[in-house]
Chains A and B, each alone.
Chain A
């Protein structure tokens, strides 16, 4: 396994989708390659930072339309 391969396997690696042989080869490569270890750290940091994004706000008119729909439904069903 070389660096170019590892970069393309990084998601499968993090998802736990690699076969045990490929996983072992990736771990072996990462243990002796600073560049790939850094790349993996960058991807992990990217995932962590992406997780800090705020939930999106929904427009007020959609919110009130859905609230109205809910109240109609709740009222009709008693």
Chain B
């Protein structure tokens, strides 16, 4: 005669489900950790800048101790700009200001659902940008001023991630006087997030616009985050 052993308890469906879920979370996290650069050393930044702006390496440099990066929470974006710019954080936005104060860039990241909602509301991204420019200029316009906006596509990469660059020119005319505002707007959209760099300049000349366009072209996801 012998007493039966105490039974080892089997798992429950809920525990199995949690275990599988935890496995997928851990695997995803590990994948993201391995696929995103752990640190950016200055030589890498120089290489990136050189690749993006051949022959202009000396004009560009990285800000802060994070290298050529803009960090929006877990989402990290590559960016490159000259040493004439300073950077600060305002809420969820990163604001880049040129030393002459005439150019300013805003970088922000929103969930992809919000981006889709915006595009659906205005039917196209171009129409959304044009409408927003017009509305912004109307707010600042004196009574009787005429406001118009024009959008020109600079580039579009189907991706993923999707990247669309546009030039938006807003004009405000009052009598014979005309003020012009030029914005370079780039959206880059992956499965989770949509990031926007919007650079604006009042009465920009061609070379300055070219610089802003180059900045827009270099703006891209470095790490998608969650």
Partners in one complex: no
Interface residues of A (CB under 8 A from B): none
